Amino acid sequence: MLNSSLKQLSALLAQKEISSVELTCEFLKRIKALNPNYNAFITINEEMSLAQARNADAIIASGDAHPLTGIPIAQKDIFCTKGWLTTCGSKMLSNFISPYDAGVIEHFNKIGAVNIGKTNMDEFAMGSSNETSFYGPVKNPWNIATVPGGSSGGSACAVAARMAPAATGTDTGGSIRQPAALCGVSGIKPTYGLVSRYGMIAFASSLDQGGPIAKSAADLALMLNVMVGFDPRDSTTLQREKEDYTHDLGKPLDGLRIGLPREYFVKEMSDDVARAVEAAITEYRKLGAKTVEISLPNTKLSIPVYYVLAPAEASSNLSRFDGVRYGYRAPKYTDLNDMYQKSRAQGFGAEVKRRILIGTYVLSHGYYDAYYIQAQKLRRLIAQDFIEAFKQCDIIMGPTSPTTAFSLGEKSNDPLRMYLSDAYTIATNLAGLPGMSIPAGFGNEGKPVGLHIIGNYFSEAQMLNVAYQYQQVMDWHAQMPFTQ
Ligand code: GLN
């Protein structure tokens, strides 16, 4: 059952082979056994999960079930969840019980899915290793001495260790795809604007996008069907006709043009990652696809551009955490200013403070034009690269991350090296494009490697099929770590 697909679990529930309460208990049992080692969950609330499961069983009995009714889903702790502690991985929100549900959570509630727990994450989603969490790092289930990636490391770990059949994540510069790659699971960041950001605690609003992490592309499609949708409370969500993301699954790949960016296959990519990615591309050729070399000439600019724009937006978004409206307040202070200062000094961790400082700097008078405006112009050029590239190909492939999972602590004192973890993923956020990562085998020491698939705007159904076809012939995604 731990390895079952969402479709299989759904069938078991429909045929009454198992109840949602039983299924929920199974996963809660596994979380209780494994979480002390992996630290993938910040909050588990058995009572609330079981209440949802009982409700789901009633929906199933009434014959009104949706494919994911009664299925336990792990929710990244960035999504406000009514009645649940919602921390965003920060001390700042360590006492915040959300009074309302995020748009994404509402969607899952509406169809009767079960929230199995809130997953650990880098503080305010800033990080690539899950080490910036106030709740301590998450461990990679494939090798407990290594990081799971970040910032959705708790969700990726939960799915990899089979503590949940599927999970949600968010991706501002790679936070769904990079942890999915490092943990050997599948994840997709949809086109910007498809998933509501309402109640999804904001990091960099023009880049943040929610999406699913699951074992397979077929499972991701079912998750996306629930998550995508216009939300009048998020002015950047798009009003589009509802799409069934399972629609394309099974279509042959004959003639598919895969673009391989010259700039991605470079020495920064480690040999074991290169080997696995090249082997995956060979498989695609066998499936009928052809490859074309393309160029994304501004690739090198993505990290510098991102580290101007994301901190700029973060410095503004995080100004709301002032110790007054909600969240942490310093216990001792002399006056209002002192209270602001102490609350923020004590409530935020080092990485968050670094971003706020950078963001405030690049937005300040005299530097705004030199940094912020310049970065916005370059962002446009990066997006333009992709528009040109998609004239020559249907899909782009490369590595998700330049290396496999690195050791805990290895990069935590070297922010620049840490930032390079997202060298391949960040450009898609800057361009607003969809990107996904699927398991493509193992590198040195048996660590998972992720294949990165970038699609054109709104090509999620096609991308999922591209991943699905590979998962019909290769079974990397079905392999699970020996859990301890
Ligand atoms: N690692 C990147 C950062 O720290 C991306 C994080 C994310 O996608 N949330 O900003």
Q: What is the pLDDT of residues 417-475, one digit of tens each?
A: 899 899 999 999 999 999 999 999 999 999 999 999 999 999 999 999 999 999 999 99
Cα–ligand 1 centroid distance for 189 (angstroms): 13
Q: Mapping DSSP to helix (H, G, I), strand (E, B) and coil, where does residue 117 land?
A: strand
Which residues have CB under 8 Å from 207's CB, separation 6+? 172, 173, 192, 306, 309, 310, 313, 429, 430
The domains of the chain are located at 6-253+471-478, 300-377
pTM above 0.95, yes or no: yes
Distance CA 310, CA 127 (A): 12
**Torsions phi, psi for 161 (to 5 deg):** -85, 5
Q: Is the pLDDT of residue 175 over 80?
A: yes
Mean pLDDT of 165-174: 98
As a whole number, mean pLDDT of residues 4-17 equals 98
Entry field: residues in the chain: 484
* Residue 80 · residue 164 · CB < 8 Å: no
pLDDT in tens, 297-334: 999 999 999 999 999 999 999 999 999 988 899 999 99
pLDDT of residue 170 exceeding 90, the answer is yes
Phi/psi of residue 299, nearest 5 degrees = -50, -45
Active site residues: 76, 151, 175
**pLDDT score of 423:** 93
With pLDDT > 90 as the criterion, what percentage of the chain qualifies? Answer: 96
- Best mutation site among 130, 132, 175 for ligand 1 pocket (most ligand atoms within 8 Å of CB): 175
Alpha carbon distances (Å) from 97 to 85, 86, 155, 193, 422:
4, 6, 20, 27, 32
pLDDT score recorded for residue 267: 77
* Average pLDDT along the chain: 97
Sign of the alpha-carbon torsion through 218, 223, 225, 228 = negative
For residue range 256-278, list pLDDT tens digits in order.
999 999 999 887 889 999 999 99
pLDDT tens by residue, 209-250: 999 999 999 999 999 999 999 999 999 999 999 999 999 999
State the pLDDT confidence band at 206, using cuts at 50, 70 and 90. very high
Q: What is the pLDDT of residue 484?
A: 59
Q: Which CATH architecture has domain 6-253+471-478?
A: Alpha-Beta Complex (3.90)
CB distance 85 to 310 below 8 Å = no
Estimate to the nearest angstrom the gap between the alpha carbon of 388 and the chain centroid: 27
The set of protein residues with a Cβ atom below 6 angstroms from ligand 1 is 125-128, 151, 171-175, 203, 310, 422
How much is the pLDDT for 269?
87
Is residue 483 pLDDT above 80, yes or no?
no
* Amino acid identity for residue 355 in this structure: R
- Residue 281 banded pLDDT, cuts 50, 70, 90: very high
pLDDT of residue 266: 82
Interatomic CA distance for residues 170 and 216, integer angstroms: 18
Q: Is the dihedral of CA 453, 145, 147, 304 positive or negative?
A: negative
Query: pLDDT tens, 335-376?
Result: 999 999 999 999 999 999 999 999 999 999 999 999 999 999
Average pLDDT over residues 188-217: 98
Q: How far is the CA of 409 from the centre of ligand 1 (A)?
A: 17
The ligand 1 atom nearest the CA atom of 426: 5
Neighbour-count burial for 62-98, b at 16+ CB within 10 Å, e otherwise:
eeebbbbbbbbbbbbbbbbbbebbbbbbbbbbbebeb
Ligand 1 atom nearest 421 alpha carbon: 1
Cα angle 228, 27, 134; round to 5: 75
User: Do the Cβ atoms of 120 and 41 come closer than 8 Å?
Assistant: yes
Phi–psi pair at 71, nearest 5 degrees:
-90, 130
From 172, 201, 206, give the residue whose CB has the most ligand 1 atoms within 8 Å, as the site to mutate: 172
> Amino acid letter at 280?
A
